[in-house]
Structure 1
Amino acid sequence: MPPEAKSSGDDTPVCCPLYHEAVEMIGRRWTGAIVEVLLQRHGSLRYTEISHAVPQLSDRLLSERLKELEQRGVVEREVSPGPPVQVAYGLTDMGRSLEPAVRELKEWARRWLN
């Protein structure tokens, strides 16, 4: 039985563990903003471009979040040989597939949080 179909034996709702994992991943502090900025570009952005797009985000947290997203397969790191060596970040197919969910969340925010 898939995790989302599990039941506690009564009518008590049960949270799907995969849904929970997805919300925890994208809901980490600043992760959603990073993904949203990369979705806007439809390509890769250099570290400093991401940093300027989300000015409240510290360098330490940006670096951590990019590493986490890369490890999860959402972001890919592209290194162009130099000099100077340039590093850019872009969404993988997995990351780009978040676009409908991000778009819907933005619409919800505009409607209810404005």
Structure 2
Amino acid sequence: MITVIGIFPDPQIAEQATSYLLGNLFKAENVDTHTGGDPARITEFFNHLFDNPQEAEAHAALAQNATIVTVHALDAREAQEAADVFNNYGALDVGIPGSSDPLNRIVEKAVNHTVRLRGE
């Protein structure tokens, strides 16, 4: 699986992006939405997903007061479609402090079911 991450400052926009995904052939069991909640859980999720601690920290810091939509894509085509939806709906660009390049929303790693961000 390939994980695609969208971080949205507005939960209503995140819900619109999620609705679009679900209405366009993405399966509900492969789309997670998480708003607010336990900062330790969010940090654990990003630490699990990224091998680079700076990438994990940058994502976790940005996601603390936002809504996270995660797509667990079956292939590269589906991952790119999800990333395009996130871009079209205004997901935040994540960058490492001191770098001008935003990080990729697509991570070629499956997320262990015990750390998936599902629900509130």
TM-score (norm 2): 0.31
The structure whose residues are more often strand, as a share, is 2
Higher RCO (C-alpha 8 Å, min separation 6): 2
Which entry has the higher C-alpha Rg, 1 or 2? 1
TM-score (norm 1): 0.32
